[in-house]
Amino acid sequence: MAIDSHLHINSMMIKDVREEIKRVNDNKDIEAVINVGVNLSTSLESLKIAESNSKFYTTVGIHPLYISGEDLDKIYALASHDRVVAIGEIGLDNTQDNIEEQKRYLLLQIMIANDLQLPVIIHANNTNREVIEVFEKYEKPKYGCVFHCFQPDLEVLDYLVRNGFYISFAGRVTYKNARKSLDVASIVPNSLFLVETDAPYIAPEPFRDSEILNI
């Protein structure tokens, strides 16, 4: 049986969330899934799903693309719920020009995770080293960390392994141009390798551009 460590079943891209939840619940090959919040509203929705469906656990957090106006005190309050297993996804994304504000939200959410003794799920879009700089300069996750949909970098991988942080790759490793990801994935210790779909995003071949949620 499989555990999907990262998906977004209440994403706006999903046309019928109830149907997708049913598909997960009915699939005997799926033991559990971790549904990931990206802002306060999706975190609230994900928590409600987890409360009503025993296969579902949730994370709560503010993704770097959605930090504008978000209330971290409310995230802290949600994170105390027993169905919440991590703070995330949080991190840095270089497609935006507010990187210093992203760093502030990242640091504050690491502090929340450490205070509540929770791991963090990191989103690092071409920012692996900048995230690590936040860890080293300010505060490092104390209770676990996963770099989700890891963008391959051998030096960064060495840092993650030395710190006992987890790595996952999602569907990108199935792409024709994914040679570097495959090379890096092949040397990740089994004890630190997580399975994730990131559904409905980054679908694997041959399901790219499909409307089907693949979990």
Residue-level pLDDT at 206: 67
Beta bridge partners of 58: 35, 84
Contact assessment for residue 200 and residue 211, using Cβ atoms and an 8 Å cutoff: no
Residue-level pLDDT at 213: 42
Contact assessment for residue 99 and residue 72, using Cβ atoms and an 8 Å cutoff: no
51 alpha carbon, distance to own chain's centre: 20
Residue-level pLDDT at 214: 39
Residue-level pLDDT at 172: 80
Is residue 210 in some structural domain?
A: no
Q: Give the side-chain half-sphere CA count within 13 A for 179.
A: 1
Residue-level pLDDT at 215: 36
Is residue 205 in some structural domain?
A: no
> Token pair for residue 99?
């990187």
Q: Write down the residue that tokens 């991190």 correspond to.
A: 91
Is residue 215 in some structural domain?
A: no
Residue-level pLDDT at 212: 43
* Number of Cβ within a 10 Å radius of residue 35: 28
Rg of the chain (C-alpha set): 16
Domain limits for position 58: 2-192
Is residue 206 in some structural domain?
A: no
Is residue 200 in some structural domain?
A: no
Report the alpha-carbon distance of residue 215 to residue 17 in Å, rounded: 13
Beta bridge partners of 4: 33
> Token pair for residue 122?
């990191």
Between the alpha carbon of residue 62 and those of residues 39, 59, 115, the distances in Å are 4, 10, 17
**Ranges of residues in the chain whose predicted pLDDT is under 70:** 206-215
Residue-level pLDDT at 209: 58
Report the alpha-carbon distance of residue 40 to residue 165 in Å, rounded: 26
What total of structural domains would you count in the chain?
1
Beta bridge partners of 30: 2
Between the alpha carbon of residue 29 and those of residues 19, 20, 50, 60, the distances in Å are 17, 15, 19, 26
CATH number at 59 reads 3.20.20.140
Question: For 94-117, what is each residue's pLDDT tens digit?
Answer: 999 999 999 999 999 999 999 999
Between the alpha carbon of residue 125 and those of residues 9, 130, 131, 148, 180, the distances in Å are 21, 10, 10, 10, 16
Is residue 214 in some structural domain?
A: no
Report the alpha-carbon distance of residue 151 to residue 178 in Å, rounded: 10
Is residue 10 in some structural domain?
A: yes
Is residue 201 in some structural domain?
A: no
